[in-house]
Amino acid sequence: MKSIQYFIFILFPVCVALVTILFVNVSSIVSLLFYSLLFIIVWRIVLQWSDPLRGLGVFFFYAVLAVCLYEWQLLVIPGYFGFSGGLGVGTDDSYFYSLAAMDLPADFPVREYYWLRSHHYSDVLKIFSGLFTALYSDSHPLDLILFNVLGLSLVPFFSEKVAFLATNDSRTARFTFWTTLICPFLLANGLILIRDGWIAMLYIGAFYFLMTRQYLLLVGMLLGTFFLRMESGLLLMFSVVLYGSMVGRLYSSEIADVTQGWRSVPIILAILTGLLILGIFVVAVIGIDQIGVMAITRFYRVDFLESFIAQTNGVGGGGTFYKINQLPWFFSIPLGCIFFLGSPFFTVRELMLDGNFIPRMLLANLFSIMFIWYFVYFSSAMVRILKGSNSVITILAFIFLIDVLVLSQASMQIRHKIALMPLFYVILGYGYVYRRTISVVVGSLFVSISVVLVNMVAIVR
């Protein structure tokens, strides 16, 4: 009976996905089945995981959500042909489609001289666009959007496995899986035609392969991240090296033994934190231009940040970023980090357009509401980590916070936080399982006050 219920549970999203796509674009059934076949190949041959039906259930579940999001955006912002929209509302998905599509509608919104540009991500999309165009003469946006579903579907499973490897606790792993699966922030940026969902998969996948000592696949994750976004590749490489150096000699034993404790962790954390603060001070005093390292200049993308902040000042939270950016470095660094960690915040200003809810903004606001609950257990995890209860989780939490700090200063785009969300849910699951009353109360008060203050600032502004 249990196996029959399990099969029905998997079959349901498959049927819903097929029916949903039939109503939108019949030919996209081909691309859906093609990507599902690719998913099975990756699952069984590359990853060598069992229970592929469970993986397919998540794949088709995300496929349904992707089609619904596409249709919703088409209804609310028809001028963008099912994509997320322009500045202050949407992101780069229509741009990537313009680079990858074999043919565009006459009134499709494009950037100036877009045909002279290229991008690694759009180059990959163009391969599939050409394939489906050859099969049935005219490819549809869903044919490429479903490619993102392929990558995003692996994120909950990588997160679940990393959580289990770090804690040896099935409850933490299950909690991590479900919270990652339904994360609105991941859905808002992973089910549209941008690379952030793939970056998230590569990021958490790299940690999984590092922890299971599958170094060839780890290199593949690193190369894939560099290919899609060099800055994310640099951050991932730094994180992997930091994790490996901190765990070090402990990998001579099984991962279950690692979780028993490591008394030198607080000392190493203090040393690394001191070095980080010293490095930030040196960069602030000497200046990035004088460091002489082109990689840093590339990572920080100064020209882009200036134009982005100027364009978004007062739009979609850009005004807050602008104000933080203008503060002295000893204020802008910690405030930027805190703002980035808590973002996106709940605001009502960008939620509506012409009387209609904006899909991505609605999902972002839903996440901000859920974050009140999330931060409670994140605080619980931090309290337990400070007690030195689990060395691996301590290291992962330290890396997560360092990465948040780096992104808050180098990125200034909230959606780049997507890469860190799976690791966030691993820490969150640990805090949920080992929650304590005091940390729950403190976390709830802190986030509630923060939400009120942010919305007060938004109203006044």
The verdict on 306 and 451 lying in the same domain is: yes
Domain residues for 393? Answer: 168-460
The verdict on 287 and 379 lying in the same domain is: yes
Facing residues of 353 across strands? Answer: 356
The verdict on 104 and 207 lying in the same domain is: no
The verdict on 123 and 225 lying in the same domain is: no
When pLDDT is averaged across residues 138-151 and rounded to a whole number, the result is 92
d(CA 424, CA 322): 26
The verdict on 179 and 263 lying in the same domain is: yes
The pLDDT of residue 165 is 95
When pLDDT is averaged across residues 79-85 and rounded to a whole number, the result is 86
Higher pLDDT, 428 or 286: 428
Question: Does residue 394 sit within a domain?
Answer: yes
Q: What would the pLDDT profile of 179-232 be if each residue is shown by its tens digit?
A: 999 999 999 999 999 999 999 999 999 999 999 989 899 999 999 999 999 989
Portion of the chain with pLDDT greater than 90, in percent:
39
Cα–Cα–Cα angle for 184, 401, 303, rounded to 5 degrees? 80
Written as six digits, the tokens of 456 are 């007060």
In which band, very low, low, confident or very high, does the pLDDT at 439 lie, cut at 50, 70 and 90?
A: low
The verdict on 74 and 214 lying in the same domain is: no
The verdict on 130 and 181 lying in the same domain is: no
The pLDDT of residue 277 is 55
The verdict on 181 and 147 lying in the same domain is: no
d(CA 156, CA 422): 8
Residue 81 has pLDDT above 60, yes or no: yes
CB 71 within 8 A of CB 24: yes
Q: What would the pLDDT profile of 326-338 be if each residue is shown by its tens digit?
A: 777 777 788 778 8
Tell me how far apart the 2 most distant CA atoms of the chain are, in Å: 68
The verdict on 115 and 179 lying in the same domain is: no
SS (H, E, C) the chain: CHHHHHHHHHHHHHHHHHHHHHHHCCCHHHHHHHHHHHHHHHHHHHCCCCCHHHHHHHHHHHHHHHHHHHHHHHHHCHHHCCCCCCCCCCCCHHHHHHHHCCCCCCCCCCCCCHHHCCCHHHHHHHHHHHHHHHHHCCCCHHHHHHHHHHHHCCHHHHHHHHHHHHHCCHHHHHHHHHHHHCCHHHHHHHCCCCCHHHHHHHHHHHHHHHHCCCHHHHHHHHHHHHHHCHHHHHHHHHHHHHHHHHHHHHHHCCHHHHCCCCCCHHHHHHHHHHHHHHHHHHHHHHCHHHHCCHHHHHHHCHHHHHHHHHHHCCCCCHHHHHHHHCCCHHHHHHHHHHHHHHCCCCCCCCCEECCEECHHHHHHHHHHHHHHHHHHHHHHHHHHHHCCCCHHHHHHHHHHHHHHHHHHHHCCCHHHHHHHHHHHHHHHHHHHHCCCHHHHHHHHHHHHHHHHHHHHHHHHC
Question: Does residue 163 sit within a domain?
Answer: no
The pLDDT of residue 301 is 47
When pLDDT is averaged across residues 427-451 and rounded to a whole number, the result is 76
When pLDDT is averaged across residues 139-148 and rounded to a whole number, the result is 92
- Across the chain, mean pLDDT equals 79
How many structural domains does the chain have? 2
Question: Does residue 121 sit within a domain?
Answer: yes
Beta pairing class for 356-357 and 352-353? antiparallel
Domain edge (last residue) among 91, 118, 152: 152
The pLDDT of residue 264 is 45
Question: Does residue 160 sit within a domain?
Answer: no
The pLDDT of residue 24 is 79
The pLDDT of residue 451 is 62
Domain edge (last residue) among 93, 119, 152: 152
Question: Does residue 159 sit within a domain?
Answer: no
The pLDDT of residue 144 is 95
The verdict on 182 and 295 lying in the same domain is: yes
Question: Does residue 162 sit within a domain?
Answer: no
Residue 345 has pLDDT above 80, yes or no: no
Higher pLDDT, 88 or 184: 184
The verdict on 145 and 183 lying in the same domain is: no
Written as six digits, the tokens of 125 are 């999309």
The pLDDT of residue 358 is 82
The verdict on 145 and 238 lying in the same domain is: no
